[in-house]
Amino acid sequence: MANALSGQKAGEVTATPNPFEFHVYGPRHLSSPSWWDLLRSSWKDPNYRRMVIACFIQGVYLLELDRQDKRDERTGLAPQWWRHFMYRLSQTLVDERDGSIYGAVLEWDRRALLAGYAPFRPAGAPAAVVALRGTLLSGATFRRDVVDDLRFLAWDSLKGSVRFAGALAALRSAARRHGAGSVCVGGHSLGAGFALQVGKALAKEGVLVECHVFNPPSVSLATSLRGFAETAGEVWGRVRSWLPYVGSAPAAAAAAAATPAAADAKEVTLEGAGTAKWLPHLYINTNDYICCYYTDAAAGTATVTARGGGGGGGGSGSSKAAGGDGGMGKPGLARMLTVSKGPTSFLDAHGLQQWWADDVELQVALNHSKLIDRQLRSLYAAQPASPQVSL
């Protein structure tokens, strides 16, 4: 028995690290910003950007768990997940109904940067990030989380939620303070649904912020009914085009307008809109049935391989997709990364950890997504021409 404690001082207790500590659960090869980033910023690497924002969202999950377990700032697990990247907690987004934390505003920490002998923020690093967590199946917050899950499932919208209003106000405030080009919003699962919808709401106001959504929900009753109605309309148009024509020339023109070709010509799509004003970055695992419907393409889908992990400091892990855009997609199309080699079981496929894992392999889907088209159609619909009055 005495030999079992050999090499350990008398009275010394070995603390078992928490499995969610950054150095245990987090990425292995992501460096902290330093003076080298002033010459070659890691934030220009899309892999590094994806992994860091995923870490920020993990920090928000842990903020709520720290609150439930009564851990303070000194003993909490959450601060490790942003301090490593020279960010600080500026604001917590709290649901006043139950006191739960569902989001946070993280800002670039100038004091920490100066301590590392770097006088200013590296190029590409956001001044502020609004991070939103998904559903937690523990504690009192479970009820509020599930209510919002059911809200999305029923209506394909989160606008009626208290959390939507809070997230939108925080994002709008950050954009006013730092400028829209220096702010981004990110979320996972339910939080991805909020991030997508508050980003779209600001885009309607002309404020375009960068948006990163991980495993966003794609299944809802409203979407299913809408898709069924569109499919039924296409089928009816084809049936009418097959029927022998009997009637006048105006009736023939009306029948021709009901054909799918005419309907496709009238439908506004992101591809037809040219360079879109605002498009999110989506991260999808097709083995996750909650988000997999984002990969349904309205047109053909082309994919190119992108290196997944290893997006370490200095941009050494940068992956260049077709067209040299760093795997960020092409103008007018949703920027979507899908897992080609990674978790396959549902719980792992829906998890956040895969998006900072070193061994995951991703594909850049240069795809005209049917679901994104439907969700963002109101942003790119052609505005009706104002009537001109001749004098």
| pLDDT of 247 strictly over 50 | no
- Contact yes or no for 103/95 (Cβ under 8 A): no
Percent of the chain exceeding pLDDT 90 equals: 43
* Domain 29-240+278-295+336-378 in this protein, CATH class: alpha beta
| pLDDT of 288 strictly over 80 | yes
**Which range, 118-122, 318-322, 364-368, is most confident?**
118-122
Average pLDDT, rounded, for the chain: 77
pLDDT value of residue 14: 53
Averaged over 10-14, what is the pLDDT? 49
Averaged over 272-280, what is the pLDDT? 65
| pLDDT of 104 strictly over 70 | yes
Distance CA 166, CA 164 (A): 5
Distance CA 166, CA 156 (A): 19
Where is pLDDT greater, at 283 or 310? 283
Q: Which of 48-62, 97-111, 258-272, 377-391 has the lowest mean pLDDT?
A: 258-272
Radius of gyration of the chain (CA): 24
pLDDT value of residue 116: 61
pLDDT tens digits, 332-368 = 555 788 888 888 899 999 999 999 998 889 988 755 6
Averaged over 253-271, what is the pLDDT? 47
Whose CA is closest to 287, among 236, 244, 346, 333? 346
Averaged over 262-280, what is the pLDDT? 55
Percent of the chain exceeding pLDDT 70 equals: 66
- For the chain, the domains span 29-240+278-295+336-378
pLDDT value of residue 300: 43
pLDDT tens digits, 34-67 = 777 667 888 999 999 999 999 999 999 999 999 9
pTM of the model: 0.78
178-200 burial string, b = 16+ CB within 10 Å, else e? bebebbbbbbbbbbbbbbbbbbb
Whose CA is closest to 355, among 5, 48, 149? 48
Averaged over 245-268, what is the pLDDT? 47
The model's confidence at residue 11, banded by pLDDT at 50, 70 and 90, is very low
pLDDT value of residue 334: 59
Whose CA is closest to 214, among 383, 60, 318? 60
The model's confidence at residue 218, banded by pLDDT at 50, 70 and 90, is confident
